[in-house]
Structure 1
């Protein structure tokens, strides 16, 4: 009740609260909408990166090139012979075979590694063959000798370029059984993978198991290290010799953002990050294809405005409806209170009329004038709490005592203007006098003691402008407005009865 009334009395404050709620709802809705859009973009990005990872595998481990060198190691007797027998390297027939396969597959180099780990015959488009090089420490040799096709991404020590090494085992027989007797290795550049990384138009990274950015659509990120750069970690990377001289003379720089899947803010931009595994049978672990989408481009800052505006509009409409309902409720409450007040006033008025009727009845039933006046004083005691009282009638000499109630010795005669009551009769003006007023001679007594009255009620008795007398009542406390009005109404009954 009180809250509703306060809201109804202060509509500007209520609208201020509604406005604040609308702003909060707009902010929350806009933020939620943008979050949903960003999560949707992240889900699509996860799908895209998985598709790109499959494409990366189809370009490498599952490619036609891998199938071609696998067949060389499985069905070509010259390759098997060179891997197992001490024959001179680079036999014309073997070189011709290697060149034909290399040119058909558009690769940079192709060579055969014997069981001892040394390159036997090799063809290279640069004209610098790799014959005689010891590759026993290379992971691609170890993996192939364990019977697994594999891809090895590395930085060339001699040339410093980034390359992919496709390696397949050579078997003694025509089936992939028994221990391999050698390895066929093809070297290609990164062109196809780099085109794949650039295809989406997003920032894409090919990350090594050691956390090195081997390739990226953003060339400034190449050679950086994801995560914390420590001395132990750098030493471990250098030990594998997979990245050539890339980190010999300098420490690797840290990638300027976190590439854990999810959302990340870096370089003043908000990115969605997704990654997928590219398993090349690298003994160091799986490679990762990481794609980052700049959400500032795909989900612009204004994307949440429609949702924010709608939320604000809903709150404003609900607020307006709520305030209208509050005002209506407050009006109903006020009407109800007013009806109760009117009903109480009517009830009080009816009660007063009943009281006056009771006064009139008591006075009419009295035998004579003196009894009527005594009945009036008795009713004043009952209705107004008068503890003492006196009625004076007007005569030629002023006021003469006509009746008294619970009074010991009131004056028998008062001149007009004498004392409070005489002055009241002279001025013909009723009044309420507080305790201790000059001229108040009343003293309320009982068997237990006495006390001065709290207030005196003084009034002239008049009928059609003619002074008939005066009334003085002593009360323990001043009457309220309703009792005073009732007293004045009773005086009319007294006036009628004093003329009879």
Structure 2
């Protein structure tokens, strides 16, 4: 016998265990060989080109999709502008007045010259019309092209002015209503002229006797242009920008600004004096007929829509531009390009790495096989551990439990020596419950003696690696030779805050320390089973006393009241709940501990079926099991051996988990043998 139980565990010469396992320390994958720099550069270059190509394709796709939407929107804008002008309310009012107003007809025919003043009926009709169309002025032109009646918001008198050269006057005299944009002769301001014929009579609209013209400020058109796309232009049939959302492009010329062209435009007298000085003519910085233009480093999508205003010079145009950056945002294109570059680069690098596919596959397969074997070993060890826990639950005494414990641990651990010590009822000494290995161990150890006592006092695991010679000795074989262990483990068995025992393990292999967690996993089960076996032994001792008293009562026909009180005192003092049930399942005897556990009084339990204390789903099954139960007089049965925790229904309804052991009582007089149930909470 060595002095291992008396050596102070706090000796600084003892080393501490490293509980870290070796799993995961070694690399599980071989590092792939590096691809040459030339191949990497080539792959990244191709990936960059692919990303740029994808970005451009994505941009073109977005612009094409946006082109359709933009063209549809531009078509709607042109239609809306045409409806606000030629087909609008103002034009309708001018046409209606030219058809129906007799004072305007009279002014055009010159039948009542005395009334050609601002105060005559024609002037009043013109003022009413002008205010209705929210115009700047209205006037009537006779067949000679002379203004014969007028109203002007600024009070200007225009009667007698020759406007026969104006195309809109000519169109109206030809019987066609028209919209014409021009610079006013008297005002010098840009305006829209709404012209309609004045008919000879309301019923016979065959002869045109004059023209009715309403002048509306160009600001109506310009507000519409500013509220539309990024840039909007109104272009005349001769290529002059008459209105624009950009003021610097007003009266610019679309296309070539040749002297002949400028003289021809100036001869129209449509744009005032803007084209009288050829050197001051500005040209538009883009071609409005193009679908895509670039202005000041910004790309725009362009659309040119015709406006059929019945201008003799041709159709006017609405030109709309929108920034292409909104159709294909740079951030989105950059993201798509980056993803394409990254994807292509990854694909290229993966393609290059296929050169080593065969060797790498063999290496991977080898690693997978090793991992699979390791996983199988881990699973098998876990299954054996679960099996060991189940077998520990099924043991009926401490010696059997120690044998199962060391047998199970020895299958997975390099265990050369082990001892299981269990404390006595008063917790003053530890008694040897089982020993594994060669040699022997002390039968009893004080709770304050040596390293076992130190482990119990600290209530924590003590682990030592390579303890110095003489601290601990073990016999690796049946011979007399001894050796120092490489690893020494002392593990406390704790349940409900009480140290019930100490497990000591010693090994010549350091692997025991690496598998320390495996041992610690079963410690709670071991402590619970020790507590249960001790409680079962105590209950058996109490039951033996009860049986002895019962036998004494059976032999003594005249049991005195004093003896009965003494018997009852013993039952009441038992630390476990006790119920005696007859063959029909009725409770015929109980003690106060049952009242404490269940909440029922003793009077409430007596005469009731035992199934009252079980959950409803288990009652029918329990009746069948009770009827089939057979026991010997000295036999103790533990209910739920695989799952010792059983539910007990309390008086208030909640369930508590208890452990139940059964024992048969002998017959007493006419009383047949009964079953005694010992119940303790988990």
Q: TM-score, normalised by structure 2?
A: 0.46
CA distance in 2, matches of 1:190, 1:308: 46
CA distance in 2, matches of 1:177, 1:122: 23
Match of 2:350 in 1: 321
Match of 2:68 in 1: 43
Match of 1:117 in 2: 145
CA distance in 2, matches of 1:113, 1:157: 15
On the 8 A contact 2:300/2:321 being kept in 1, the answer is: yes
Matches within 5 A, 1:378-393: none
Match of 2:224 in 1: 196
CA distance in 1, matches of 2:124, 2:337: 70
CA distance in 2, matches of 1:305, 1:268: 19
On the 8 A contact 2:103/2:125 being kept in 1, the answer is: no
Paired residue for 2:154, among 118, 122, 126?
126
Match of 2:249 in 1: 221
On the 8 A contact 2:222/2:243 being kept in 1, the answer is: yes
Match of 1:56 in 2: 81
On the 8 A contact 2:229/2:321 being kept in 1, the answer is: no
CA distance in 2, matches of 1:299, 1:315: 22
Q: CA RMSD in A?
A: 2.1
Matches within 5 A, 1:21-420: 21-88=46-113, 89-90=116-117, 92-175=120-203, 177-251=205-279, 252-296=281-325, 299-328=328-357
Match of 2:418 in 1: none
CA distance in 1, matches of 2:166, 2:204: 22
Tell me the alpha carbon deviations over residues 173-207 of structure 1, each in whole angstroms, 9 at most, x when there is no partner. 22474231111100010121111100025111101
Cα drift, residue 99 of structure 1: 1.0
On the 8 A contact 1:83/1:182 being kept in 2, the answer is: yes
CA distance in 2, matches of 1:86, 1:177: 19
Distance 1:77 1:157, change over 3 A: closer
Cα drift, residue 86 of structure 1: 4.0
CA distance in 2, matches of 1:132, 1:56: 33
Structure 1 range deviating more: 298-307 or 106-115: 298-307
On the 8 A contact 1:50/1:275 being kept in 2, the answer is: no
Tell me the alpha carbon deviations over residues 412-451 of structure 1, each in whole angstroms, 9 at most, x when there is no partner. xxxxxxxxxxxxxxxxxxxxxxxxxxxxxxxxxxxxxxxx
User: Structure 2: any 5+ residue segments left out of the alignment?
Assistant: 1-32, 362-682
Distance 1:327 1:12, change over 3 A: farther
CA distance in 2, matches of 1:17, 1:327: 19
On the 8 A contact 1:114/1:120 being kept in 2, the answer is: yes
Cα drift, residue 10 of structure 1: 6.3
Tell me the alpha carbon deviations over residues 73-97 of structure 1, each in whole angstroms, 9 at most, x when there is no partner. 1112222222223432236111111
- SS for the counterpart of 1:197 is helix
Tell me the alpha carbon deviations over residues 337-374 of structure 1, each in whole angstroms, 9 at most, x when there is no partner. xxxxxxxxxxxxxxxxxxxxxxxxxxxxxxxxxxxxxx
CA distance in 2, matches of 1:166, 1:44: 32
Q: Which has the higher contact order (CA 8 A, sep 6+)?
A: 1
Cα drift, residue 298 of structure 1: 5.1
On the 8 A contact 1:194/1:217 being kept in 2, the answer is: yes
Match of 2:429 in 1: none
Cα drift, residue 328 of structure 1: 2.6
Cα drift, residue 290 of structure 1: 0.6
- Count of equivalent residues: 325
Pair 1:17 & 2:46 matched = no
On the 8 A contact 1:146/1:179 being kept in 2, the answer is: no
On the 8 A contact 2:229/2:320 being kept in 1, the answer is: no
Cα drift, residue 329 of structure 1: 6.4
- SS for the counterpart of 1:181 is strand
CA distance in 1, matches of 2:135, 2:284: 31
Cα drift, residue 9 of structure 1: 10
- SS for the counterpart of 1:111 is strand
- SS for the counterpart of 1:264 is strand
Distance 1:15 1:80, change over 3 A: same
CA distance in 1, matches of 2:285, 2:299: 13
Match of 2:403 in 1: none
CA distance in 1, matches of 2:69, 2:164: 43
On the 8 A contact 2:104/2:125 being kept in 1, the answer is: no
On the 8 A contact 2:259/2:278 being kept in 1, the answer is: no
- SS for the counterpart of 1:52 is helix
Cα drift, residue 134 of structure 1: 1.1
CA distance in 2, matches of 1:84, 1:165: 22
CA distance in 1, matches of 2:158, 2:139: 7
Moved over 6 A (4+): 329-332
Cα drift, residue 62 of structure 1: 0.6
On the 8 A contact 2:240/2:254 being kept in 1, the answer is: yes
CA distance in 1, matches of 2:161, 2:358: 95
User: Structure 1: any 5+ residue segments left out of the alignment?
Assistant: 1-7, 333-500
